[in-house]
Amino acid sequence: MKDVYILGIETSCDETSFSIIKNGVTDIATVISTQIKIHEDYGGVVPEIASREHLKNITLVLDQVLREANMKMEDLDAIAVTYAPGLVGSLLIGVQAAKTLSYIYDLPLIAVNHMVGHIYSNQLVKDFEFPALILVVSGGHTQIVLMEDHLKFKLLGETLDDAVGETYDKVARIVGLSYPGGPKLDKLSKYGKDIYEFPIPLDDDSLNFSFSGLKTAVLNFVNKERMRQSKFNVEDLAKSFQETVKEIFRKKLTIALDNYEVKSLIVAGGVAANSGVREVVKEIADKYDISYSFPPMKYCTDNAAMIGAAAYQYYLNNDFSNLELSVKSQEEI
């Protein structure tokens, strides 16, 4: 079969990214223009500003990816774009660009769910071994998904309130770390001791998660310590919090692997960069003697490479979208 080159486009939040992926596995070129410095001023992503920045960047990033790949639009076989979930105004810029490129160059348009993309970022490292258990961890998601084959997903459990990434950012804010605080909290935990006790919410035999109680417990702890004017150690708090999160994942992944026989354990989403998540996944996979995979650090943040990787499977299935494609703020995989 001839090689298939797919242009991936990702604009679901605050990164404008284009990528050219060969046969769903080889990253020919990926360009990511991040707005993180702009949103830092506001303590979080401001949707209208994100949309405005995407519009400013859109042709620049496209131009750069074509240059880096040393390719022309005519060399491509399909255009893939994130259409959900995400910020509607941001998603629209990518989808609008994708529709226009698809029409001009008469290329099939492929709609990719952002979270499916995160899962497929692993495919850029090694082939999936099915069935696989996927731990989806990001600022908006915490899910355990069974993946029986390409694009065949079954949701086994998910958070009933806050997502794990959201919890990291909120706890980081409680202890005074600036946005985005999650990764900073993770870093601090390396220098602390696990000396503070926090509860494990939803400690049952389901595969669902709950994190809001944990966040509240940290908040209460910090408020109490501050009222007593006692100086708690931030590194120790970070470590204790991280260990609690690890214990939550340890328990839930154990339940999942006791109930579903899988060949691999795969992590997807922005929080896949978190060292605690990496440690616990490695530990559990080793215990059950199955393979595991994390996306490389450069594909943990939002990127278009994963969109191009996922799109290849739709391409093989001739599963194409059209010029009436709508964006959606929410959409399950």
Partner 1 sequence: MILFIDTSLGTCYSAIYKDGKIIGEVNEYLKTKMSDIGTKLIFDLFDDNNLDIKDLDKVIVVTGPGSYTGVRIGVTTAKIIAYSLNIDLIPISKLELMAFNTESNLYKVPVIDARRDNYYSAVYDKDNKLVLKEAHRSIEDLLEFLKDKDYVFIYDDEIKLDKRLKFEIDFEKTIKHFMNYQKIDNIHLLDANYLKKTEAEENRDKL
**Which residue, 25 or 49, has its beta carbon nearer to partner 1?**
49
Binding pattern for the stretch 4-43 against partner 1, x by CB under 8 A and - elsewhere: -------------------------------------xx-
Q: Residue 284 contacts by C-beta under 8 Å, 6 or more apart in sequence?
A: 249, 250, 253, 254, 257, 265
Tell me which of 21, 28, 32, 58 binds partner 1, using CB under 8 A: 58
**Which residue, 105 or 232, has its beta carbon nearer to partner 1?**
105
For strand 26-34 and strand 78-84, is the pairing parallel, antiparallel, or unpaired?
unpaired
The verdict on 48 binding partner 1 (CB under 8 A) reads yes
CB of 9 to partner 1, least distance (A): 11
Q: Residue 138 contacts by C-beta under 8 Å, 6 or more apart in sequence?
A: 115, 118, 163, 164, 165, 269, 270, 271
**Which residue, 92 or 238, has its beta carbon nearer to partner 1?**
92
**Which residue, 45 or 262, has its beta carbon nearer to partner 1?**
45
The verdict on 191 binding partner 1 (CB under 8 A) reads no
- Tokens 């001839």 correspond to what residue? 2
Which window, 22-30, 91-99, 128-136, 231-239, contacts partner 1 (CB under 8 A)? 91-99
φ and ψ of 275, to 5 deg: -70, -35
Q: Does residue 325 contact residue 109 with C-beta atoms inside 8 Å?
A: yes
The closest of 59, 136, 119, 45 to 89, measured between CA atoms, is 45
Gap between the Cα atoms of 253 and 265, Å rounded: 9
Q: Residue 296 contacts by C-beta under 8 Å, 6 or more apart in sequence?
A: 124, 125
The verdict on 63 binding partner 1 (CB under 8 A) reads yes
Tell me which of 96, 138, 189, 313 binds partner 1, using CB under 8 A: 96
**Which residue, 62 or 277, has its beta carbon nearer to partner 1?**
62
Q: Does residue 309 contact residue 299 with C-beta atoms inside 8 Å?
A: no
CB of 330 to partner 1, least distance (A): 16
**Which residue, 205 or 324, has its beta carbon nearer to partner 1?**
324
Residues 270-329 that bind partner 1 (CB under 8 A): 322-327
- Strand ranges of the sheet holding 26-34, from the earlier edge strand across to the other edge: 26-34, 15-22, 5-10, 78-84, 109-113
Across 109-193, where does the E strand assignment appear? 109-113, 132-137, 142-149, 152-158
Which window, 93-101, 231-239, 251-259, 313-321, contacts partner 1 (CB under 8 A)? 93-101
Residues binding partner 1 (CB under 8 A): 41-42, 46, 48-49, 51-52, 55-56, 58-60, 62-63, 73, 88-89, 92-93, 95-97, 99-101, 103-105, 322-327
